Amino acid sequence: MFVVIAGAGRVGSAVARFALAAGHDVSVLDEDPLSHERLDAGQSTSWEDAGGRFTVGTAIEIEALTEAGIAEADLFIASTNGDNTNLVIAQIARKRFEVPRVITRVMDPGRATWYAEQGLETISPTKVAIEMFKEALGPEAR
């Protein structure tokens, strides 16, 4: 499977390394060249030597998305640090590039819920954390 990941922060870079180790083709896009270090950290070979791709560019720019290979992607993951950027580029991936599967990271539970209702596959770490805290409070708190 060919995976394109926009945003190589803590989440994006970890998912990228996992996907590459699992045998997928992985291309990462980030506007910060330094984010490349997160892909190399703790690895014996560099990201590129291990077979990964890395593009420096802004995720909303069509040239950057194209260079990262979005047109061929089987899976697109929007994991930049901006909820609105993720929601916009995820829709671009679906509507313009017809990527078969698109997953979007949305911190705000409100937007994550509504856009999920509109058919976007969203993951909200905040929502997950809230549920875990509720769980930790025990059954008597519910």
Partner 1 sequence: MYVIIAGGGKVGWNLARELIGKGNEVTLLENRRSRYLTIEQELEHAVQYGDATELWVLERAGVQRADLVIAVTGDDEDNILICQVAKQKYLCERIIARVNNPRNRQWFELLGVQPCVSATDLILRLIEHEVPSYGLVHLLDLRDEQLEIIEVEVVETAPAAGRMVSEVTLPEGSLIISVLRGGTGFVPTPETVIEAGDEVLLVLDPGLEEAITAHFAPAP
Question: Per rule CB under 8 A, is residue 82 in the interface with partner 1?
Answer: yes
CA 98 → CA 28, 68, 120, distances in Å?
18, 15, 13
Question: Per rule CB under 8 A, is residue 71 in the interface with partner 1?
Answer: no
Measured CA to CA, the distance from residue 117 to residue 111 in angstroms comes to 10
Shorter beta-carbon distance to partner 1: residue 9 or 82: 82
Question: Per rule CB under 8 A, is residue 119 in the interface with partner 1?
Answer: no
Among 91, 112, 127, smallest CA distance to 6 is for 91
Tokens of 111: 């937007």
Question: Per rule CB under 8 A, is residue 100 in the interface with partner 1?
Answer: no
In angstroms, what is the minimal distance from the CB of 61 to partner 1? 7
In angstroms, what is the minimal distance from the CB of 100 to partner 1? 18
Rg of the chain taking only CA atoms, in angstroms: 16
Tokens of 42: 């703790």
Which residue of 44, 118, 141, 142 would you call a contact of partner 1, by CB under 8 A?
Answer: 118
Tokens of 22: 């699992």
Question: Per rule CB under 8 A, is residue 91 in the interface with partner 1?
Answer: yes
Question: Per rule CB under 8 A, is residue 126 in the interface with partner 1?
Answer: no
Tokens of 78: 């929007």
Q: Which residues bind partner 1 (CB under 8 A)?
A: 60-62, 82-85, 87-88, 91-92, 95-96, 108, 110-111, 114, 118
